[in-house]
Amino acid sequence: MSIAPAFAVFRPIIASLALTLGACGGGGGDGGTSPPPASTMGSLRVALTDAPSCGYEHVFVSVQKLRVHQSSNAADGDAGWSELVLAPAKRVDLLTLTNGMLSELGQTALPAGKYTQLRLVLAANDGANPMANAVMPTGGQEVAMNTPSAVQSGLKLNANIDVAADQMADMVLDFDACRSVVRLGHSGGFNLKPVVAVLPRLSDAAQRVIGYVVPALAAGTQVSAQLNGVPIKSTVPDAMGKFVLAPLPVGNYDVVIQSTGRATATVTGVPVSSTANTTLNAASAPIDPPPSGQHLASGTVTLSPAVSPIEAMVVARKTYTGGPTVEVAAMPVDGLSGAFSLSLPSAAPVKTAYLANATALSFLADTATPTGKYSLVASTATLSKTLAIDVSSSDALALSLTLP
């Protein structure tokens, strides 16, 4: 799951839709004059991907346009905006975009330079398309999601996009559906609170971590690449147990495997390169974390003064002896009641260090770490509170966290 604190910060292939669209300037004053010479122009290509969902069969969003600007502080009406317009808006099921799968949104020419603001504009749910943005809970019916006006005018995303003359900047919008869909009590309603990260894409031969879990665990497993306990990219394995974390910025990560009924498993120091993919293990030696009991950590987050809807996340983190700290579970709280419920392993977590060209991974149990003890963090965009909990032998119920 891709993110900033609280709100940074979903299998078949969707066919690529490559659109070449002209940039629509933001009123630079030259009206219908010719575009700048080719030597001062580059191009931007954008695709959409996702992290896995939590309890949903489909999560649909309809992308209407993308806007970019060289100033991170530019307002909607300022000059200098360039746009990529999708006509009609493209409706995408985020749950199909796992294991490196992308849905191409298109490409556009625009002046060379550094672009630091990107706005994602979603189509409105209206009479012509009442299900433009919708969710289908597991075992339920498709329901339209409420979309705040800010989403329709353009969700502001921090970006770092270098567009060089006569070259293409290739970017991916990583849309985290699990953190973006907010339940509204027992009303059957949902809010869309988009959690999106902007990531560079180099090629299919780089920026990827590839590994395998035992196929029997595939349906109940989530894999994430984390930095300091924050997931940068998450996915779910395919039916054969293969998982692909992509694209990932160059760096070193902790790869965390969370399987229902199993202990948390972590591979530390996993490198991501701009020139090659990284393979954790062979399909013949899949990762198989040891069995573990599961206990609930549930309760309520309250905002003071009260705000409705409640826009807060709850995250459970585990710290290994000698590090690292990893996220084990997370969810947005109920938008009306603030309720949350996380299922956590009670057994000791296991870990191993990354080893280049390894066929198999040998995990060791971290028995020095209190087995079922976690840090539970409730946070909004500006506030956070941490509570120590213990689910070693029983559920932790009726937890209460008040912000501030």
Residue 76 to residues 25, 66, 284, 325, Cα–Cα distance (Å): 12, 12, 53, 39
For residue 370, say if its preceding peptide bond is cis, omega within 30 degrees of 0: no
- Per-residue pLDDT, 272: 96
User: How deeply is 75 buried, as exposed, middle or buried, from its count of CB atoms within 10 A (0-12, 13-18, 19+)?
Assistant: exposed
- Per-residue pLDDT, 18: 30
Residue 263 to residue 235: CA distance in whole angstroms = 18
pLDDT along the chain (404 residues), means of 10: 33 26 31 51 85 80 94 92 94 86 90 94 91 92 85 81 91 87 91 87 84 95 96 93 94 97 98 95 97 97 94 96 96 96 97 95 91 96 96 97 95
- Per-residue pLDDT, 29: 34
Of 304, 80, 334, the closest CA to residue 191 belongs to 334
Taking a C-beta distance cutoff of 8 angstroms, is the pair 225, 254 a contact?
Answer: yes
Residue 301 to residue 317: CA distance in whole angstroms = 17
**Domains 209-279 and 294-403 fall in the same CATH topology:** yes
> Topology of 209-279 in CATH?
Immunoglobulin-like (2.60.40)
DSSP letters of 216-245? GGGGGEEEEEEETTEEEEEE---TTSEEEE
Is CATH 2.60.40.1120 the classification given to domain 294-403?
A: yes
Of 166, 161, 75, the closest CA to residue 115 belongs to 161
* pLDDT tens sequence across 126-156: 888 999 999 999 888 999 999 876 666 788 8
In the chain, where are the structural domains located? Answer: 20-28+37-200, 209-279, 294-403
Amino acid at 244: V
Q: What is the pTM of this model?
A: 0.83
Which stretch of DSSP H or E encloses residue 108? strand 103-111
DSSP 8-state class, residue 179 = H
